[in-house]
Amino acid sequence: MALIEWREEFRIGIDAVDHEHQQLIELINRAHKSIEVDAPRDVVELFLGEIFSKIAAHFALEESVMRRSNYDQYLEHKQDHEALLDDILDIITEFDGGGFDHMSEKLSHRLRDWFVGHFKSKDARLHNLLGVF
């Protein structure tokens, strides 16, 4: 079963963002699957690197839009982004240090809950308020 199932309630109503969120979910699901099937280390490593860079790029885009629009909750939103990127870096560091144990639980606990919660609260507010990108 996929780690994160796309649900209609995640939809923000701006196609480009919904599409990017769907792609991120898909990537996380594929990474999770690779861990579940005991894929070779380098495959999992590539997935983790890709997750980090794609999510970082998505956040950078949101943050530049917020700055341009003088968005009132810029700092809180950015802090939330930074907390997740720190979490992903922790997972990567741990994995590089040799840890493979409980990787799928770590990904699911930290990424799924965070991601789903962030979409529904912070991203939904941002995109609804600005109505752009």
Q: Which residues bind Fe ion (CB under 5 A)?
A: 62, 123
- Pick from 24, 49, 12, 48: which is nearest to 114 by CA? 24
Closest residue to Fe ion in the complex (CB): 123
As measured in angstroms, the least distance from the Cβ of 69 to Fe ion is 14
Nearer to Fe ion by C-beta: 35 or 123?
Answer: 123
C-alpha to C-alpha distance for 116 and 111, rounded to whole angstroms:
8
- Please, are residues 126 and 14 in contact by the beta-carbon 8 Å criterion? no
C-alpha to C-alpha distance for 85 and 36, rounded to whole angstroms:
22
As measured in angstroms, the least distance from the Cβ of 128 to Fe ion is 13
As measured in angstroms, the least distance from the Cβ of 81 to Fe ion is 6
Helices assigned H by DSSP within 37-73: 41-68
As measured in angstroms, the least distance from the Cβ of 131 to Fe ion is 15
